[in-house]
Chain A
Amino acid sequence: MPPGTRTVAGLDEDALTMATDAVLACLGDADPADPGQFDALYFASTSSPYNEKQVASVIATAADLPREAAVADLGGSVRAGLGALRAALDGVRAGSHRTALVVAADARRVEPESELEPLVGDGALAVAVGRNDVVAELVATASISEEFTYVFRTDEQRYLQVAEPRFGATYGYARDMGEAVALALRRAELPPARVAKLALAAPDARSAGDAARRAGCEPGQLEPSLVTEAGLLGTAEPLVLLARSLETARPGDFLVTGAYGEGADVLVFRATDRLPAARPRPVAERLARGLPLPSYARYLRAQAVLPGESIGEPVTSMVEWKELKQNVRLYGSRCEACGLVQYPQARVCLGCRSQDRMVDHKLAKRGTVFTFTIDNLAPVPEHPLPMAVVDLDGGGRLYLQVTDAADGDVKVGAPVELTFRRLHEVGGNRYYFWKARPVEVR
């Protein structure tokens, strides 16, 4: 195992928050997209923070999708990421959805100091699926499905389990993945040599090469594994590999992506002429934004292996419901009389005292630190806690916890963006809210 880096979700992150972050980045990349145009959202994860609760609905609300959106949570195996993408593509092709969002996110727990620990990473990726102006079009799909005991976690197990790793990699992963790739290429009437990139998720650093050879391809056609840069990213991995292929693909290139889980799903895409003008933001840029964890103890705390202090009152369902637009969709009020944008939502204007002249105003998710503090007293699991008063672009002022900040990042005038995070946990439930994070790429 060569030395490398693995990505670790922060203490205030989980599959839900990372998925929301990815969706917001997907909407915000290039031209900010109107979330109102999306009528479906698929969320895939094997490490959802809820065993029962529609997380896709939470993500759709935080991303301000319309209430009419169709949503689904998919899980079960890391194959769910591509399963979600295929379902969305099928939905669009069938005319069920106009445009859909697919997001895969995982922050899988592995036993501390186990062999798996350095291999698994945390990550999320969102894809917008539609009919028009696509950067890659679906050419063919193939699936293999058959019971095989390899990677699993029962409803009572906290950590990922792997049965017979070498046998599983060969007779489970490589055999099924090779067969699925070969089948997809036959359906696409595509000779293996015509494949520009094979973006195959894999359970380790080696086995994707085995699968490629079984399908008649060369290991050189593989998009390199992320294992030493980020770790194996679960449901998000095939999508991240595909995104990486799209960073350099040329129009007309065939890109094949595959994911495994008691069988395999493979999708064949062809890059379009539109790709060069609308490439995804480079994966390396995202990786470079990570902050080093200062200690193994911090890592264990982020994995919730070590307990952290979190004191606070629960948010009742009634308050949550009443304030949903304000707190989750993040709308303030704008006074029609004087124009002042204000938060939280109010009936009497803070600026001109006009009564009931307010209209809902969607707040921007970027802004500038007006003032701040770095607090060591707040009852939160990790100190210090930076807090910032943020003036949002386009109006409105918020007071937020700052997350993902390095020493010196939080200062008057610093640009920040908003990210949806876990705020606290109390009474057996988790509460999410917006935090600020410094935007400068380190």
Chain B
Amino acid sequence: MKDRVAVIGIGCTKFGDRFERSYEELICDAAFEAYDDAGIDPAQIEAAYLGTYLPGSGGGKAAVSLADALRLYDRPITRVENYCATGTDAFRNGCLAIAAGTYDMVLVLGAEKLKDRGGRGIPRLGHPLLARGNTAPGLFALAANRYIHTFGLRRETLAKVAVKNHRNGALNPKAHLRMEVTEEQVLNAPIIAWPFGLFDCCPTTDGAAAAIICRADMAKRFPKAPVLVKGAGLAVTSGRPYFDPTFDYLGFRSTQAAAQQAYAMAGIAPSDIDFAEVHDCFTWTEISNIEDLGFCRKGEGGQLEEEGQTALDGRLPINPSGGLKSFGHPIGASGVRMVTECVVQLRGEAGKRQVKDPELGLAHNVGGPGAVSCVVVLGRG
């Protein structure tokens, strides 16, 4: 698939509490922006992939949500759902369809309307008795606490991830939480699930993001500098990691496997990546992810954060967009939103948060926690 698919247009809504916008309106906002960016007519779209995690109130029941919102009828539309990797996996599926030669132009759109559901956090799924009492922060906290026990990571280091990503997000007009936070604020926030306080957690967010992709050999016909898909990987492991007596809880092998697939496809090493949008649903997750993605050895992620290597002006900027932490996490939209950030950065359109002259960017989601991971590598065309 390497260099056979190009991203020619992107769109992304303002992320946040979008009570004034319905699920279908968010889809329109993202899609229209992408149409404009690519300079295409919607009639040119041959197929679409919709990434939405949660069905039910607020929309997202199936592919028809996209069809009806955009009046995009009589062509193949597929809804993709793959936990928190929903968005990146929708993108990956779109790329596969182009690379297979089936379609010339595809719309990939991720959308999620979490805020209209009410309640706190995201609803629990799964067996009514087994693993009952789990929450998203609680599940990642299981891994964080074992990691802390093993490597002696400090909460102060976790806080630095939040401080950095809020600083990046404050520069981003589309981010959900556009304010900087101090390490003290992060450390003193109410505990959600130990060791995570409020500012260790990403918010629940409404938003949508879109990418128009086409055959790479067509890309030059469109106004924006094309960005090429270099590699993609997806790995699914156990959705019940807490029942696996062989699991060490120090990282996620789905990320390790998905990253290896993507690097192999792209023919690169982790050290070739210039910046990465990684799945920082919780501060610890970013630290573990950069290890699982091969940017450093297991147990050393905290040190990278401490030394500022992951800052916007660091050796390897991580989450220049502000990440899930600050940009927000409308689950199915997040992966596509990460792709749009990679495109913005590779085009050199990121303004105050621009990473210096990047060639290769990476987008990564992990959900489950650890059950499923999707990695996409994008490069300047």
Contact = CB atoms under 8 A, between A and B. Distances in A.
Contacts of A399: 130-131, 134, 142, 240, 242-243
Among B128, B137, B142, B238, max chain A CB count under 10 A is at B128
Interface in A193-230: none
Contacts of B194: 373-375, 384
Contacts of A350: 238, 244-246
Interface residues of A, number: 41
A58 B245 CA distance: 29
Contacts of A424: 132
A217 B131 CA distance: 55
B43 interface: no
A385 B142 contact: no
B245 A341 contact: yes
A299 interface: no
B10 to A, nearest CB: 33
Interface string A264-281: 000000000000000000
Given A344-B130, A376-B193, A412 B245 contact: no
Main secondary structure of the interface of B (DSSP, over half): loop
B243 A423 contact: no
Contacts of A340: 245-246
Interface stretch (B143-151, B152-160, B258-266): B143-151
Contact of B149 (A343, A371, A375, A401): A371
B134 A378 contact: yes
Contacts of B121: 377
B344 interface: no
A350 B129 CA distance: 21
Contacts of A433: 129-130, 132
Given A342-B245, A370-B249, A371-B249, A423 B192 contact: no
Interface string B103-140: 00000000000000000110010001111111101100
Contacts of B69: none
Interface string A318-362: 010001000100000000000011111000001100000000000
A374 B146 contact: no
Contacts of A344: 130, 240, 243
B193 to A, nearest CB: 4
Contacts of A373: 137-138, 141-142, 144-145, 193-194
Contacts of A372: 142, 145
A374 B245 CA distance: 21
Contact of A375 (B141, B238, B242, B249): B141
B193 A375 contact: yes
A389 B192 contact: no
A340 B240 CA distance: 16
B138 A375 contact: yes
Given A371-B142, A373-B193, A380 B133 contact: yes
5 contacts: A342-B243, A344-B240, A371-B143, A377-B138, A399-B243
Interface of A: 312-315, 319, 323, 327, 340-344, 350-351, 370-380, 384-385, 387, 389, 391, 395-399, 401, 412, 423-424, 431, 433
Given A378-B134, A379-B124, 7 more contacts: A312-B132, A315-B129, A343-B243, A375-B138, A377-B135, A380-B133, A399-B243
